[in-house]
Amino acid sequence: MKLAVAVVRSLAARWIGAYGNEWVATPHLDRLAAEGVVFERHFADRTDGQSESYAAPVVRFDDLVPPWTVPVEVFDTYAEDSEAREPVREPAPFAPDDLAAWDALHFSYAAVLTRLDAKLGRFFDECRANGSAVLLTADLGFPLGEHGHVGPAGSPAHAELVHLPLILWFPDGTGAGERVDGFTQPAALARAIGRTNLIKDEEEKNLSEESKVLATVRSLAGPHALTRAADGTLRAVRTAEWTALVSAANNESEWVCEHLYRMPEDAGEANDLAARHPEIADELIQRFGRRDDYSSLID
């Protein structure tokens, strides 16, 4: 089976219709998701988005990385009823109460994404024509003022930075419409691509190659996800019930829960419960904050 991996740099899951976006026009991404398997909770292993090596051809799309080439006609469509009149090409911080700057930044990103969606559509058509399966994902998201940060540099491991799309599409329709709810992460995914020998069940030996690949990737879904900084220090713990953003204490061996959010109702990570539920924060730190062997966390 041929598999093409598409990695879109600077694309968080929240910008795709399959993950809840209702206002940005991405018909080709939406079609791929509708015809493929959507992994709901794919989170970056690292806040620097280090690229993983996949055992398959990788096509990287850099259009969302600044400076942006903003299609003005698309920007004008998004900004039609707003005070945002000038596209943003070099994103920069802005005052929290500057709604026009907020709109201009978001409409500019949306316009670039809409144009990129057309490019992705041509890539997907090529894959359909040559019978290649497609795995679409991203390296990191691009914060656009959420939680006071613009761009990935220095941004905490909030969802807008580390919640990534993961869509797997097969030409024969294997798994079409399925949504996988467990947590997956890039490093384990990269190792699993192309490895179908994980299927041990005697009843599954006669599955198609597509079904084996899907079963292999699906088997990666687990109960939590951990995100670390480039030096390996823990930055976020995510479970089905809680998201904890953490930092290292002065001695670099203890961890402090800076923010705690209840999931899934606070998907935007707006209501910090760290002070209200210190026992939950402590439990998460005890479970994950002392595990220093990074390789063991992604097996």
Tell which residue, 158, 161, 163, 211, has the closest CA to residue 183.
163
Among the ranges given (61-75, 182-196, 231-245), the one the predictor scored with the smallest mean pLDDT: 182-196
| Mean confidence (pLDDT) of the chain | 90
The per-residue pLDDT for 57 is 85
Residues recorded for the chain: 299
Domains of the chain: 3-218 (3.40.720.10), 224-297 (3.30.1120.10)
Cα 24 to the center of its chain, rounded Å = 17
Phi, psi (rounded to 5 degrees) for 66: -60, 155
The per-residue pLDDT for 50 is 77
The per-residue pLDDT for 113 is 98
38-64 pLDDT, tens digit each: 999 999 999 998 767 787 889 999 999
Q: Is the pLDDT of residue 200 over 80?
A: no
Among the ranges given (43-52, 64-73, 80-89), the one the predictor scored with the smallest mean pLDDT: 43-52
111-167 pLDDT, tens digit each: 999 999 999 999 999 999 999 999 999 999 999 999 999 999 999 999 999 999 999
Tell which residue, 143, 18, 107, 177, has the closest CA to residue 26.
18
